[in-house]
Amino acid sequence: MCMCMLNKRIHVLFDEQLASQVAKRAKQDNLSMGEYIRSAVESKLEQETSLQKLTNAMEQIRAFRDKEGKKYAHGKDSATIIREMREERTKHLLDILHDK
User: How far is residue 92's CA from residue 96's CA, in Å, rounded to a whole number?
Assistant: 6
pLDDT at 88 over 60: yes
**pLDDT, position 78:** 78
* Separation of CA 97 from chain center: 50
**pLDDT, position 69:** 66
**pLDDT, position 75:** 67
| DSSP conformational letter for 91 | H
Helices within 1-100 (DSSP H only) = 16-28, 33-73, 78-97
pTM for this prediction: 0.55
Tens of pLDDT, residues 22-65: 999 999 999 999 999 999 999 999 999 998 999 989 998 888 87
Residue 7: band (very low, low, confident or very high) from pLDDT cuts 50, 70, 90: confident
